[in-house]
Amino acid sequence: MKKILALLLALCMVFALAACGEPAVTESQAPADDGTVSEAPADDGASGDKVIKIGVFEPQSGDNGAGGKQEILGMQYANSLTPTVDIGGETYTVELISADNQSSNDKAVSAAQELITNGASVVLGSYGSGVSIAAATAFGDAGIPAIGVTCTNPQVTQVSDTYYRICFIDPFQGTVLANYAKSLGATKAYCLAKQGDDYSVGLVNYFVEAFGAENCVQEVFQEGTSDYSSYVTNAKSNGCDIFVAPVSTEAAALIIDQAATQDLGMPILAGDTWDSNVIVKAAQGKDNVHIYVTTFYQEGGNAEFDAAFKEWINSDSVNLENNGGNDMIAAVSVMGYDAYYVALEAIKAAGSADPAAVLEALPTVNYNGITGNISFADGAKDATRDVAFIKYCNTETGAWDLIGEQGIE
- What are the pLDDT digits (tens) for 331-370? 999 999 999 999 999 999 999 999 999 999 999 999 999 9
136/387 Cα distance (integer angstroms) = 26
134-138 mean pLDDT? 98
Within 50-183, where are the H helices?
65-81, 105-117, 129-142, 155-159, 170-183
The DSSP output letter for 24 is: P
CATH number of 170-295+389-406: 3.40.50.2300
What percentage of the chain exceeds 70 in pLDDT? 88
What percentage of the chain exceeds 90 in pLDDT? 88
92-99 mean pLDDT? 98
pLDDT at 2: 38
**10 has pLDDT over 90:** no
CATH ID of 50-168+304-376, from 3.30.1330.60, 3.30.450.90, 3.40.50.2300, 3.90.400.10: 3.40.50.2300
**38 has pLDDT over 80:** no
221/1 Cα distance (integer angstroms) = 88
> Residue 55 is inside which H or E element, if any?
strand 50-58
Lowest-pLDDT choice from 4-13, 283-292, 372-381 = 4-13
**313 has pLDDT over 70:** yes
Task: Look over the chain and give the mean of its residue pLDDT values, rounded to a whole number.
Answer: 90
Amino acid letter for position 26:
T
49-75 mean pLDDT? 96
The domains spanning 50-168+304-376 and 170-295+389-406 adopt the same CATH topology: yes
**155 has pLDDT over 80:** yes
φ/ψ of residue 243, rounded to 5 = -115, 115
**7 has pLDDT over 60:** no
Q: In 3D, which of 118, 242, 248, 256 has the Cα closest to residue 183?
A: 242
Q: In 3D, which of 378, 407, 176 has the Cα closest to residue 272?
A: 176
52 strand-pairing partners = 94
pLDDT band of residue 41 (cuts 50, 70, 90) is very low
pLDDT at 18: 39
Hey, where are the domains in the chain? 50-168+304-376, 170-295+389-406
Amino acid letter for position 97:
I
The DSSP output letter for 382 is: B
pLDDT at 48: 56
pLDDT at 9: 39
290/19 Cα distance (integer angstroms) = 70
pLDDT at 344: 98
**409 has pLDDT over 90:** no
Lowest-pLDDT choice from 38-52, 157-171, 218-232 = 38-52
pLDDT band of residue 27 (cuts 50, 70, 90) is very low
pLDDT at 399: 96
**128 has pLDDT over 90:** yes
5-20 mean pLDDT? 39
